[in-house]
A and B are shown apart, each in its own frame.
Chain A
Amino acid sequence: MKNDVRRDSFMIITKSKITQFQFILMIFGIQVGIGMLSLPRELAQKGGTSSWIAILFGGIISTLIGIVFVKFREKAPNLNYIGFFTFYLGKIIGSIVVLFQAMYFLYGGYLALVRATLYIQSYILQETKTYILLVLFLFPTYQLISGGVHLIAKYIEAIFPIAFFTLFMLLFTLKDADINFILPIIKEGWMPIFKTIPLTTTSFLGIELILVYYPYLKSKEKAVKGVIIGNALTTFTYVFVTIICFVIYSPYEIKMTFEPVIDILSVIEFQYVERLDFILFSLFLMIISKTWVTFIWAGMNGLSELFKFRLLPIIIIFLFIIIIILTFIQVPTFTNTTNHLHVLMISGLYITIGIPILLLVGGLIKNRLSKVKIN
């Protein structure tokens, strides 16, 4: 029968050492990335200053989707990525889905990397060429990708204090805050808020990686709890950052500010460190790095499982050469990466919503077929 999975050893993950804390941070880490920098502006443009409430709804939706993913995964806990999709959808459709996802992950990883490079170049190192910075960032990327998911998990865990510190420093901007900017909390009724929900949902993209992470978890039974806490952490961060931006910039100003989260940092000034934003933004590079690294790893992992090759150094270097060539084919600018990010978000939405439906249908058909066979 076609839908049966050949449970060869290649498909089963045996080394699963990601702790619960790492899992939570990985969900948090994959969601909070470059999207956060412009989120307050986009929210304000779409739904005014009360739109931050929409983040809460986005968070809830994302949590629900995450739980659905976990539930699907529980049926085939130890299978690897391709094995999981073959289990539900059969070999051919499963492979196609994995291929598309891998391309999507690589695309996302590439965009996050290029975008981070652009930010760093335009805010800190104006005189350095973009592709030189890109090559520079590829060194740690190489280390992490060749180290695999466990190393990435450790890395995300290790840099969490830095993420926490950066967010904490945002509190120092509050001395210029005006709480009246966001009052009353619901200004123009609920409609604008509801309209913003699709936008906020895209900020939670990355949740689909739960499907990849799951077999590597040490305590799989606590995965649902992890998804909830991770999403709550992300939601909190987004709400925190958005509200801070909303109370500092006036409702009109925020719509004009391109990257409010970066701009806001320049408000911070201490007696001994002028322009703390330079340091914070450099540190922010570490926080963004986990997004692109995880995405590129997930993509390469999907491809390697699909075409059954190992992630040898030469293959990773080959990928990096392609990445560098791509930046020459289309020289990245803020405008074209924004367009690409838009495409990525839409395809991400399709994938995040489409996959559960596909899996559900696949599961039902599989059940039907196996019933037929048993009877």
Chain B
Amino acid sequence: MNYSNEQKKRLRKYNLRSSVIHTEGNLIENLNIIQKIFPTSDLVTKDLIIRDKQAVICYLSSIVDEQKLAQFINTISTNTEEIELFITNNTVRTNQILEIETTILDGKSILLVEGDSVAFVYSTGKLPQRAYTPPSIDNSLRGSKISFVETDQANIALLRRFIKSRDFQIKQVEIGNENKSIVSIAYIDGLVDEDLLSGVEQSISKIKLDSVINANHLAQLIERNPFSPFPQYFTTERPDVAATTLLEGKVVLIVDRSSEVIILPINFAIFFKTIDDYSARAMVASFNRILRVVAFFLTIFLPGIYIAIISFNYEIVPLKLLLSIGESRAKVPFDPLFEAIVMEITLEMLREAAIRLPAPISTTVGIVGGIVIGQAAVQAGIVSNIMVIVVALTAISSFIIPNYEMASSLRVIRFPIMIMASLFGLIGLIVSTMILMIHGLSLSSYNKPYTLPFSPINRDAFKDTIIRVPLKYLWKKQNKRNEE
């Protein structure tokens, strides 16, 4: 049998010469091996006697189901003929040390019998797992009320619940050298692009880290352009969203121990869609989409536009409005940029503070922020009324954007744009728009352009971006295909 370098290194690390357990089945030798691999104190070795033979059962006490184990020990302790049959039918045999290591780590028990050159593996695993709960980040009004959990098998089960088809297939790959984690690449055969699948596999296989704990870590690791302000991956905790994207021919990555799944490839528009858009009727859904587009522009540009207008291009504003702005700014001693940055940063602090606080305290933070800072700062003449309105409007706009990652990125982009606006006015805004736009156009996600429906212009994709046409027309092609 061939061993990879990594396996050899591992065996050397455990100070073991052989890769298999003792060929004669010397119990003491074997026990020694296992204790060498697991010097931890939650390793339990229990001496047993099975049909007059000495035996030992080893497991990690923290991750086995005590009940299952007790049952197993009970059964094999009875001195009947069927024991051997029971053991053969219920256990897996192996003599590979590295395999034994992983099975113990999976929560299985190892039965070693004196004189037997193989170890019997019995599943007694009880890895901690929580029940399915409603989604906590990706809330929706009318979507399904269930979200992914931290166990990959449970997540795959959820997806299988949504897609009952043999074409729904899964490829499992392992990442992490020390701490292996299983990544399941889910796709629908026939719908998925082969190049995409191999591309995803390739980029995952390039990761040579010791461990990857979370789906969001993995997503960042396989991102093409990590310096870009725009996220190039989409994570969701909603199985209905994942299933829908799978049916569009995309790939879903399920990372064990993570309650979010990664969707690839993506384009810019996906960050502005929610599952509720499809539950609502076309008119309402389209209205919401347009609202989000407006919110997108307000989030990025509103403070910048305010600064540009106040400090450079006040000719644009009608005289009456200009007068009222001037009146509210009359008491403020700072320039607009400073004023805007102070307020924006205050707001960001409030937001960041409220996230991790327990619910009762976070409402207090809201009150303190809203009343004290908003009201008092204006009365003290530190900021103008208009600025408070601008900042509040920007904040609300940024919360409208459904994807958390995208909304956070946009909030950060706002600051350089504010600086550009204070330096060059409207032209600064236009140039920063150009820079952002060109950057967005240069991005791609697995050979799919990032700005797909807009450039290159794609009429079909337009039906489901800024507006959402009635489902009857959106899925017309599908309907036609199945009629034939």
Contact = CB atoms under 8 A, between A and B. Distances in A.
A55 to B, nearest CB: 28
Nearest to B317: A274
B451 interface: yes
Given A275-B316, A278-B315, A22 B456 contact: yes
A125 B434 contact: no
A157 interface: yes
Contacts of A271: 318
Interface stretch (B7-15, B388-396, B421-429): B421-429
B427 A289 contact: no
Size class of B's contact patch? 20 to 34
Interface in B395-452: 424-431, 433-435, 437-439, 441-442, 449, 451
Contact of A143 (B313, B429, B435): B435
Contact of A140 (B312, B316, B317, B435): B435
Q: Of residues A21, A125, A276, which shows the largest number of chain B Cβ atoms within 10 Å of its Cβ?
A: A125
A175 B437 CA distance: 35
B338 interface: no
Majority DSSP secondary structure for residues of B touching A: helix
Contacts of B449: 154
Given A124-B425, A282-B429, A143 B438 contact: yes
Given A140-B434, A155-B441, A158-B451, A282 B319 contact: no
Interface in B320-379: 321
A279 B438 contact: no
Contacts of B424: 125, 128, 133, 136
A158 B430 contact: no
A349 interface: no
A324 interface: no
Contacts of B317: 273-274
A147 B442 contact: yes
B426 A282 contact: yes
Interface in A267-299: 271-276, 278-279, 282-283, 285-286, 289
Given A272-B318, A274-B317, A275-B316, A158 B441 contact: yes
B457 interface: yes
Given A140-B434, A157-B456, A125 B427 contact: yes
A151 interface: yes
Most buried by A among B317, B425, B431: B431
Contacts, number: 89
A16 interface: no
A158 B435 CA distance: 13
B455 interface: yes
A137 B454 CA distance: 24
B438 A140 contact: yes
A278 B455 contact: no
Given A139-B431, A154-B441, A272-B318, A124 B456 contact: no
Given A158-B441, A272-B318, 13 more contacts: A21-B456, A139-B435, A140-B434, A140-B435, A143-B435, A143-B438, A144-B438, A151-B438, A155-B437, A158-B455, A273-B317, A275-B316, A286-B433
Interface of B: 312-313, 315-319, 321, 424-431, 433-435, 437-439, 441-442, 449, 451, 454-457
17 contacts: A22-B456, A120-B427, A124-B425, A124-B427, A125-B425, A125-B427, A143-B442, A147-B441, A151-B438, A154-B456, A155-B438, A274-B315, A274-B316, A274-B319, A278-B315, A282-B429, A285-B430
